[in-house]
Structure 1
Amino acid sequence: QAAFAHGQVYVALSRCKSFEGIVLISRIGTSSIRTDSRVKDFSEEAEKNAPDKGQLQQEKAAYQQNLLLELFGFKSLKRAINHLNRVLLEHESKLLPGAVEQFKALAGLAEAQLFPVGQKFRRQLQGLFAQGGLPEDNEAVQERIRKASAWFAEKVRDELEPAAKNITIVTDNRLIRKTALEALEKLQLELFAKHACFTTALDGFKAHAYLRAKALAELDFQAARHQAPPPEKETIRPQDLEHPELYARLEQWRKAEADKQDVALYMVLPTRTLLELARNLPLNNAQLKKIHGIGKGRIREYGAELVGIIGKYCSEKEIPTDTLPLAIQEKAAKKPKPDTKKISFELFQSGKTIQEIAEERGFVQSTIEGHLAHYIEQGELSAADVLPAEDVEKIKQFLAEHPEAALSEVRSHFDDAYSYGEVKMVRAEVVKWEVGSGKAEG
């Protein structure tokens, strides 16, 4: 008989729709019927302090005010935006370009227009609430609500909802795609619910109508999604592609190749690589190497087919291949680098001094002297063209007497009167003479 506590008996009996048919196997003892003093005290206290009509009216007004502040507040929408932002930034490297930019456009619109206007209107409402009474019965409040609801409903319907639908999630990673799409759907649901609630308030605010619209929003959102026609395949492709038809052909080729090998699509080529192929139009193996995700192995396996698909597309569309980005890069790479020594030599020949050439080219003087030493050794310039003849002769004489002397020894002999470059130029002329003499003897 003492197997159950009083609360358990109460719960069990409370689930019965009636006591008809219940048979007790033993009499309920008087000791089993008890009154909890805490429950009794609470009931008595509640009866003594029952709210009067004034208090009920005051609480009702406060409740309606909170609902209105909630309607024109965007806390849940901000949470949805921040969540999607975190997901996109965390996986940005795995997503095709576009989603982050599209999201930033939506977030920027909300931050610049929706949220500030909502905050300002909430302050106006709080000023009107000071008049007292129920917001539902205050015509001044209702007039402001009708006008504000029209503005917010239009802003959400015409700008924010389309912007959210415009966000395209494209990635080969199924888990990331699922996470990002769930975050995006949550954002779209919040916008849908806000629009539904603002629409309900177009004819004035009614608490029960607002609560009903809010409660039904998720059901209506899911119903609308199921009723909408399935998106065409093109809708999952990156937007703003200059060559969408080529991208479609590459997708078809990848699917056929994946089916043939019985592997996942990304194992043939990642979607990011398809995008780069469609944007850059590589037409040979050297250009294919510049595409992210294509190495020697994939070039060996798929290079000919990819170049064939892209080449055929360019021919059909009469695209001038020499103007394509990768072709231009190839030309630039093949362009020989300018001969820096020759530039210095030509500037000297034009009448500029070594100091002027160094300043113009951003080099130190010794570098320019080294450039000119090269042409002195080649016989296209004389040391006397650069230095005073008497200085040239002094250095030459020392070098003749000390042919193995290092540049530092030559400078030391003349108490550092000449720079390394000046000594180097004179030595270049000596070397030229020695080589010439050797040839003559030969």
Structure 2
Amino acid sequence: MQNTSKINPAMQLATDYLETTNTIVFLTGKAGTGKTTFLQQLRQASTKKMAIAAPTGVAAINAGGMTIHSLFQIPFGPLIPATENPDLSYSDEKRELLGSLELLIIDEVSMVRPDVLDQIDLILRTIKGSAQPFGGVQLLLIGDLAQLSPIIREDEWRILSSYYSTPYFFSSLVMQRASYVRIELDHVYRQKEQAFVDILNEVRNQTISEASLALLNARHEPGFRPGAEDSFITLTTHNNLAQQLNAEFLEALPGQLYEFAATIRGDFPKDAYPTETNLKLKLGAQVMFVKNDGSAEKLFYNGKIGYVARIDGSTVYVQCGNESREIAVESVEWTNVKYQLAEEQEQINESEAGSFAQIPLKLAWSITIHKSQGLSFDKAIIDVSEAFAHGQAYVALSRCRTLTGMVLRNPISARNIIGDPSVTRFNQAAESIKPDADSLKRDQERYRLFLLTELFNFQGLKGVLKGFTGLAPNLEKDIMEVAEKFMRRPETADDERIRKAAAYFMDKLKATTENLHGQIPFLIGNSIEKAAKADRLIQWMMARISLLEYFTANPFTTYSFLEKKKTSKAAALADKARSYLRAMNAKPNEELLASILGWREERAAADRVMPNMLLSEQTAASIAEKLPQTLKALSGIKGVGPQKASIYGADIIGMIRAYQQKQSGQEIDQASLF
């Protein structure tokens, strides 16, 4: 992130806020100012445990994350604000994932309803056991309120309007009480013509002058029909019109119709399909790339337009403008990600929930304004004479790189530039409290105090003790109540008071841990599920004891807490916890389990993926316990499935047979392993 930030003070300020505070950041800016670039750089550089979410399937795939509704399992209808703890039917894995979250990025936040944001707040506060907005999780909200707004039906708004003044995220109850900063990116990278940039600013602010309107309408060319080689795309307000134009142009072309079928695996929502499942093309068809070129050559990008020059089997050759070479296009894959907490709990990993493979093209004589958001075009025919929603005209006009590359199908009038006064008021109010170096310093201190309360927040202990009733009889009196009193005024805690508090709670947790030694083995029995829960409990206790012990002798700072938190949850402690459990109650076929886990580490390193993406430890333990003898039996174990069984089955079943023959004293027939 540093290269861009050095030449962009707004990006540097946003980076500082995201690295050194947990203040909510609303990152906004005109179209083409680098919001998406900032997101992708942050995704690579941040050390915080993060997840990325977006309101729609397409936006989620483009951002490299999940939909909000999938990540938080939120229903689609209106959500009445609630103050009581929700009934969360989450798995233990989902609770741990959300409980470990430090940074939540929401892209295209202009389309997020306020009730959805309030529901996220309620869920995170409940899971984190914290009264802080979003349970203390930092949010990065990315979007431009001048662009597309939330889609809310009239019957939905009749319900929600009783609770919210506007349909935008900033009207949520949590944003009314949360401390947040609005950082605006103001350097436009997409457009270079200052006159065009000025016009777009006026459209964005609904302050377009007569002179600017006249300059825009000079681009109106009645009856304009581009030549086949001109690569113009028409932006329309309605989807049926875009589909009709594409179908008509395709049908008018002579020659053979080629069809390409998509391959869809696993969970990939229909609203996230980047192109047609049955893509129909002809030679001469105008097409648009719907993915960036992942190769070193970078021959195409999302939104680049050309025409089909030839088709050879499964390869489509596209000619773009006056470029000297055709681009050979073959099927590529989009991945629908899901998030998993790594076993050592030091990072949140992405894994594949499903995939969509298809030629990365779509017909491009026309596209809706809504689907064009985030794209850039060299040549576009724009029709906003029937604009019906806030931001449509601005989105359409700002897709163009130059004024000369734009043709208006119909003249634009001031009434076509639809704005929302509530957005204007919000932006004006936010402008008066722009963050600076002083506010950053203030928020860094707030973050230190928040982390201090986290050191003495034992709500997580309640969660990991679930199912082990009676193991900590004095939890409420000796730990929870005392901690609550301490956290009421963290700003008054000096180093000496922090050391004494750390020593007190460390002693209490150590006593509780000693109580576990004699009781857990009887509660676990031979249950792998209970053993896994006990594993999480021991890991939580050891990590917190390690943290508290450190601060009995060292000053509390933001840096020291974050660094010690990492090492306290490191793999070494997790291994100690697992060794402790195994000593109390050995898991079935421990030697085989060790072999499977060793193989997992080696294979993951070779495939350059996280070990947990191959097999979780719980899945490995299930394999070691059940000793499957066939691929079908292996695929039936939770966490494996047919795809992993086909890829890794020979290795795993080979280890099982080798282990069994060793146990029986037989020599191993290598050929029988495969």
Q: TM-score range by the shorter chain?
A: 0.3 to 0.5
TM-score, normalising length: structure 2: 0.25
Structure with greater strand share of residues: 2
Higher helix share: 1
RCO comparison, higher one (Cα < 8 Å, 6+): 2
TM superposition score normalised by structure 1? 0.36
Structure possessing the higher radius of gyration over alpha carbons: 1
